Amino acid sequence: MSRKAKGLVVPISDKTRKILWGRSGNRCAMCRHELVVDATEFDDESVVGEECHVVSGKGQGPRYDPEYPVGCIDEPENLILLCRIHHKMVDDQYETYVADVLSKLKVSHEKWVSSTLSGGSQIPQVRIRRVRENIPYFLVRLASGRDILAVAGGAYQSSFDHDEPRSAEEADLLGQFLQEVQGYAEFWDDTEAGERVKQTWSLSERVRELENAGFWVFGTREIRRIEGGVGEPSPWPIAILKVVRADSQEINILTPES
């Protein structure tokens, strides 16, 4: 019985490592530096490459997805080869380097390796670029679930922020709200109309709870652009939300002057 059939997570096999390193050409998928340093007169070779999971198999890990098949966590398709610096960077900045970004980066890099070794043209690296005219200058107050999902629904990426909680109750309130928004937004495009109504109502209730606790929600949507790889540039919508105290001086910065 295969490890996929068993539905178990097992350590990365030697075969998987050979496939990953072979397809990646012994180079970091981001900076494309070689990942094995030659031996010196006094020391052996040094391996500076690391196998990074696109989707984490740990509940608290970066880019964790409970819907992702457990038996596929350590398969080549879910692994990307990176140098130590960029492995740490993508795991620290997991809201920027979401699973879809790393998957596209992985595919483009492996095609670049194949093309380069066969004498073909170089494939540009994948990157997400901000578009000047799309950069928001202020955030808008969001007073209902409809307002929030107009910003977050179907976004490819999210940027959430909040004022520091002053109690465990405030921490729970903020955490539950942002987690609910993220969950609804991720599957918004595949949600049926009736379920959307329920989700909108539920978020409206959350907003009222926040207001009763002295918080306001602000947000907007920014359209960035994903470029490089083998495809044409395409829009990359990002949901920006910030929860602040109703008496915060920062509100004057978040909203336009009257």
Minimal CA–CA distance to 237: which of 227, 226, 252? 226
Enumerate residue ranges in the chain where pLDDT < 70.
Answer: 1-11, 119-126, 228-232, 253-258
Residue 158, pLDDT score: 84
Quick check: pTM over 0.75? no
- pLDDT (0 to 100) of residue 178: 92
Of the chain, the percentage scoring pLDDT greater than 90 comes to: 41
pLDDT of residue 168: 95
